[in-house]
Amino acid sequence: MSVVQEAIAAVREALRLADEVKRTGATLKDLAAELRDHEKRIIRLETRWETAMDFARVSASGGPPRLPKDEGG
């Protein structure tokens, strides 16, 4: 194989690798966006769960929590 052919093969390989890196970067960008979407959904579900648990505690205790009365201090 001549030096020119080796140089052409190296350039082709470099271009192929550069294209693969671009495609991988785009895939990672899409995955990052999907991950952020899932995180937002999880936060919403956690908030709803905590709110439901608060309502359940209030219902089980017979009403909203009351503040202690000030004993004249």
Tell me: the pLDDT tens digits for 18-38? 999 999 999 999 999 999 999
**Cα 23 from Cα 27, distance rounded (Å):** 6
Looking at residue 65, its pLDDT comes to 63
Which of these, 57, 13, 64, lies nearest to 21 by C-alpha position?
A: 13
- Cβ–Cβ under 8 Å, residues 58 and 64: yes
Q: What region does 20 belong to: left with phi over 0, alpha with psi -120 to 50, or beta?
A: alpha
Those residues of the chain that have pLDDT short of 50 are none
Looking at residue 69, its pLDDT comes to 76
Q: Which two structure tokens, joined as six digits, stand for 18?
A: 């550069």
pTM of the model: 0.56
Looking at residue 73, its pLDDT comes to 52
